[in-house]
């Protein structure tokens, strides 16, 4: 992004508020799909923030479907567990994709089961495919992620909270992932095209810490660097503010998005290379949740030998 004018810092200080999941409910109550776009999947704080938002939407906004990326092969089993109690939640989480194999994910899954025990006539479900094969190309991945949500929504009528990655859930048409030089339309863009404002993209960003590799301070030209300077360790900020923003802020929000996106083969020595670019910031993202300091997720322990 271009250099921030001082009016932007003043505005951010006035509009950003402490992160409180219930505070998001009024803006999300009517959404069909809420995409939670984590900049780094392996931080405890971003996972817990995502899970807190998901729980709040289930409890207070009528959402009855949770899509957990990385569970293509285990989602049906997880759904069976949270709705009936059948199956082994630890085994299912442990055999999901690597970044999902955490104590934090298991805690969310067990919470969904407890919720359903208390609400047997109105259960929350885990979104899953019907045995669809894993797609082979990056573009096919985006197509499948969006299609799974849209088919679930069409079949059940449920609103969905989708716990995903930055590359997938922001609205990028196109978006480019660096350093991989992958350019294409994101699942979030496909959902926006199908649902319009019924799709709401929340970016979950991090300042610095460990994940577990070192995560250095945010580069100055990344959008979240402005948030990392505010006196709030965990904050949220709406970006679709329309005419309510001062002219200098409106211009800043419409500059191209440049945001951290840690993916495979992350190298902390070249941390600034791992980022995503897309169209105007306030079209790619509806809301930002920013956590200034992050720590690693807690891997599930290996099973004890028999």
pLDDT by 10s per residue, the chain, length 306: 446 888 999 999 999 999 999 999 999 999 999 999 999 999 999 999 999 999 999 999 999 999 999 999 999 999 999 999 999 999 999 999 999 999 999 999 999 999 999 999 999 999 998 777 778 789 999 999 999 999 999 999 999 999 999 999 999 999 999 999 999 999 999 999 999 999 999 999 999 999 999 999 999 999 999 999 999 999 999 998 877 889 999 999 999 999 999 988 999 999 999 999 999 999 999 999 999 999 999 999 776 554
Interatomic CA distance for residues 169 and 190, integer angstroms = 10
Evaluate whether 264 touches 160 at the Cβ level (below 8 Å).
no
Phi-psi domain of 104 (left: phi exceeds 0; alpha: psi -120 through 50; beta: other): alpha
Evaluate whether 255 touches 213 at the Cβ level (below 8 Å).
no
Where along the chain do its domains lie? 6-294
Q: Cα-atom radius of gyration of the chain, to the nearest Å?
A: 19
Mind listing the pLDDT tens digit for each residue in 109-126?
999 999 999 999 999 999
- Residue 136: predicted pLDDT: 79
Phi-psi domain of 47 (left: phi exceeds 0; alpha: psi -120 through 50; beta: other): alpha
Per DSSP (E only), the strands in the chain are 17-18, 33-38, 65-68, 125-126, 160-165, 175-178, 182-184, 199-210, 214-215, 234-238, 256-260, 275-280, 287-294
304: exposed, middle or buried (C-beta count within 10 Å: 0-12, 13-18, 19+)? exposed
Evaluate whether 248 touches 31 at the Cβ level (below 8 Å).
no
Interatomic CA distance for residues 303 and 88, integer angstroms = 13
SS3 state of residue 292: strand
Whether cis (ω within 30° of 0) applies to the bond prior to 268 is no
Interatomic CA distance for residues 160 and 218, integer angstroms = 31
- Residue 306: predicted pLDDT: 46
Query: CATH for 6-294, among 3.30.420, 3.40.50, 1.10.8, 2.40.128?
Result: 3.40.50
- pTM for the complete prediction? 0.96
Phi-psi domain of 75 (left: phi exceeds 0; alpha: psi -120 through 50; beta: other): alpha
Evaluate whether 28 touches 123 at the Cβ level (below 8 Å).
no
The tally of CA atoms less than 13 A away on the side-chain side of residue 106 is 16
- Residue 133: predicted pLDDT: 73
């Amino acid at each position: 992004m271009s250099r921030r004018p001082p009016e932007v810092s003043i505005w951010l200080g006035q509009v950003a508020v402490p992160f409180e999941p219930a505070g998001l409910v009024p803006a999300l109550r009517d959404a069909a799909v809420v995409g939670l776009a984590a900049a780094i999947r392996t931080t405890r704080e971003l996972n817990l923030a995502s899970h807190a938002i998901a729980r709040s939407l289930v409890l207070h906004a009528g959402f009855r479907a949770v899509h957990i990326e990385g569970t293509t092969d285990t989602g049906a089993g997880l759904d069976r567990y949270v709705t009936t109690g059948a199956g082994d939640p630890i085994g299912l989480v442990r055999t999901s994709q690597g970044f999902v194999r955490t104590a934090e994910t298991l805690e969310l899954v067990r919470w969904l089961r407890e919720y359903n025990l208390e609400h047997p006539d109105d259960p929350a479900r885990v979104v899953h495919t019907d045995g669809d094969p894993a797609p082979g190309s990056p573009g096919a991945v985006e197509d499948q992620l969006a299609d799974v949500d849209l088919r679930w929504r069409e079949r059940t009528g449920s609103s969905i909270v989708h716990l995903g990655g930055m590359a997938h859930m922001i609205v990028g048409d196109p978006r480019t992932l660096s350093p991989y030089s992958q350019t294409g339309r994101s699942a979030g863009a496909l959902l926006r095209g199908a649902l319009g404002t019924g799709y709401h993209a929340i970016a979950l960003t991090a300042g610095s810490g460990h994940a577990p590799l070192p995560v250095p301070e945010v580069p100055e030209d990344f959008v979240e660097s402005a948030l990392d300077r505010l006196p709030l360790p965990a904050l949220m900020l709406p970006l679709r503010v329309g005419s309510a923003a001062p002219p200098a802020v409106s211009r800043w929000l419409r500059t191209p998005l440049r945001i951290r996106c840690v993916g495979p083969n992350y190298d902390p020595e070249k941390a600034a290379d791992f980022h995503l670019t897309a169209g105007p910031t306030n079209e790619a993202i509806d809301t930002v949740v920013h956590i200034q300091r992050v720590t690693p997720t807690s891997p599930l322990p290996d099973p004890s030998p028999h």
